[in-house]
Amino acid sequence: MATDYFGVLGLAQGASDSEIKKAYRRLARDLHPDVNPDPEAKERFQEVTRAYEALTDPEKRRIVDLGGDPFDSGGGAGGFGGAAGFGGLGDIMDAFFGGAAARGPRSRTRAGRDALIPVELELDETVFGTTKDITVDTAVLCDTCSGAGTAPGTHPVTCATCSGRGEVQSVQRGFLGQVVSSRPCPTCAATGQVIPEPCPKCAGDGRVRARRTISVKVPAGVEDGMRIRLTGHGEVGPGGGPAGDLYVEVHELPHPVFTRDGEDLHCRVTLPMTAAALGTTLNLKTLDGEEDLDIRPGTQSGSVLTLRAHGAPRLRATGRGNLVVHVEVTTPTKLDAEQEKLLRELAALRGEDQPESHREAQGGLFSRVRDAFNGR
């Protein structure tokens, strides 16, 4: 029966990609071996990681949607066996006419699975790149038998049940006459060989689980959700087979000031209305250091200013994105008597308080308003 990978993540069937990612992140933070040393949590973390891989890889997801299990090597592409246990026309023909000679014994050495591990990075690490040491818990080559699975000084021997063919045949008489059927040898698991003295360290599997630290070079400009592929750093296969790949998925942590939209960064600055009206120069802290930002007189709330080439590098092109600054103008909520008087005078001069008010000369009034507010 195929594994319910949605259920492993605590999701309903057909959950969206964002729901899958959110559920995996929540579970991974609680179950990761570096955080939770409980052996059951370790097994649960592996189940959750496998479920996430099955639901985010397009090809594996297609198999899941068809009701199969992408990690079930015995279930075929879709994981369907049929009512009689046959995978297709070829298996039916083999059941009637044999096929052991065409297939032959299966190799004990098989390729390993890919592994997936999340890594949390600060915004400046994803923007400028970094080197991160991560701890992974995967199957590695057994250093006692070097993947052979045998005890030192011993070797595999030919299976006596199938004589090295990897399959056993049975002959039955039926309504079609004599029927020859073949099935994998139960003694040697279709490999044609048995190990009389397994390796004491790996129990004949050729691999053991081990925790190791790997340095990952994170390129400048990576984004949340991207995966970095480390070829050959995944699970070593049974019998010491070639290792799969390790995928490191980037989880970008929220920044207190900047938000990211692709290669562009965004931030907000607030200005008192006097500074927005008269203009000023702001000292803005960016990821590259401090920059002077000129605010022109009459700047309105909601205005957008751009610092070019202060965003994230473009991964597949040259140059960098921009830092987009959103301006918010604040209105004072409390005024003392002098400040209120000055604002009323300003409103009168601008014709905003009394349309027929006298318009006195404006020289020095803006300065008095600014000085009054700066003294709050």
Query: Is the pLDDT confidence value at 96 over 80?
Result: no
| Secondary structure (3-state) at 68 | coil
Task: Using pLDDT thresholds of 50, 70 and 90, give the confidence band for residue 59.
Answer: confident
When mean pLDDT is compared across 21-25, 41-45, 257-261, 352-356, the lowest value belongs to 352-356
pLDDT for 115-124, tens place per residue?
Answer: 999 999 999 9
Contact 144, 202 (CB under 8 A): yes
Contact 60, 2 (CB under 8 A): no
Query: Is the pLDDT confidence value at 305 over 90?
Result: yes
**172-175 own/partner pairs: CB under 8 Å, 24+ apart:** none
* Buried-state track 18-33, b at ≥16 Cβ within 10 A, e below 16: ebbbebbeebbeebbb
Q: In this predicted structure, what is the pLDDT of residue 178?
A: 67
Q: In this predicted structure, what is the pLDDT of residue 74?
A: 45
Task: Using pLDDT thresholds of 50, 70 and 90, give the confidence band for residue 102.
Answer: very low
Across residues 168-184, what is the average pLDDT? Answer: 74
Q: In this predicted structure, what is the pLDDT of residue 64?
A: 82
Q: In this predicted structure, what is the pLDDT of residue 57?
A: 86
Helix segments in 235-336, DSSP class H = 273-278
Across residues 199-218, what is the average pLDDT? Answer: 94
Sign of CA dihedral 330, 333, 339, 343: positive
Query: Is the pLDDT confidence value at 125 over 70?
Result: yes
Q: In this predicted structure, what is the pLDDT of residue 211?
A: 92
Helices 58-65 and 39-56, interaxial angle, to 10°? 90
Contact 194, 111 (CB under 8 A): no
Structure tokens at 37: 């040393």
Task: Using pLDDT thresholds of 50, 70 and 90, give the confidence band for residue 1.
Answer: low
Residue 135 vs residues 92, 129, 291: alpha-carbon distances, Å: 47, 19, 38
Average pLDDT score, the chain: 83
Q: Among candidates 351, 352, 346, 336, which has minimal Cα distance to 368?
A: 346
Structure tokens at 263: 């290669």
Across residues 338-342, what is the average pLDDT? Answer: 90
Task: Using pLDDT thresholds of 50, 70 and 90, give the confidence band for residue 38.
Answer: confident
Contact 218, 121 (CB under 8 A): yes
Query: Is the pLDDT confidence value at 91 over 90?
Result: no
**44-51 own/partner pairs: CB under 8 Å, 24+ apart:** 47/8, 48/8, 48/9, 48/24, 49/24, 49/115, 49/116, 49/117, 50/5, 50/8, 51/3, 51/5, 51/6, 51/8, 51/9, 51/24
123 φ/ψ angles, rounded to the nearest 5 degrees: -60, -45
pLDDT for 254-275, tens place per residue?
Answer: 999 999 999 999 999 999 999 9
Highest mean pLDDT among 51-65, 182-196, 295-309: 295-309
DSSP state of 298: T
Query: Is the pLDDT confidence value at 360 over 50?
Result: no
Q: In this predicted structure, what is the pLDDT of residue 39?
A: 76
Structure tokens at 244: 């799969």
Q: Looking up tokens 């990761």, which residue turns up?
A: 32
* Prediction pTM value: 0.65
Q: In this predicted structure, what is the pLDDT of residue 371?
A: 64
Across residues 231-260, what is the average pLDDT? Answer: 94
Burial class (CB in 10 A: 0-12, 13-18, 19+), 1: exposed
Q: What percent of the chain has pLDDT over 90?
A: 52
363 contacts: CB under 8 Å, gap ≥ 6: none
